Amino acid sequence: MTLYGSPVWARELTANRRSKNLLRRVERKLAVRVAHAYRTTSHAAATALAGLIPFDLLAEVDAHVYGRHRQLRQ
């Protein structure tokens, strides 16, 4: 649900540092809970322990796939 519509907003996310930080905060909280880690665990460590791929990277991939799929249709 977090990545809903990501092909539309992925470019804005990579350009806007504030939006990226907001998404990372949410992702870090989720990863800390999944990994049963301490709340002081960093974003990178929590996502690695939880086995999650960062949402900003997934959004970029979704945008690329969507763009390529759209090109092939035309």
Residue 12 has pLDDT above 80, yes or no: yes
Question: Tokens 């979704």 label which residue?
Answer: 62
User: How is the chain split into domains, by residue range?
Assistant: 6-73
Report residue 5: phi and psi, to 5°.
75, 15
Model pTM?
A: 0.78
Per-residue pLDDT tens over the stretch 20-59:
899 899 999 999 999 999 999 999 999 999 999 998 889 9
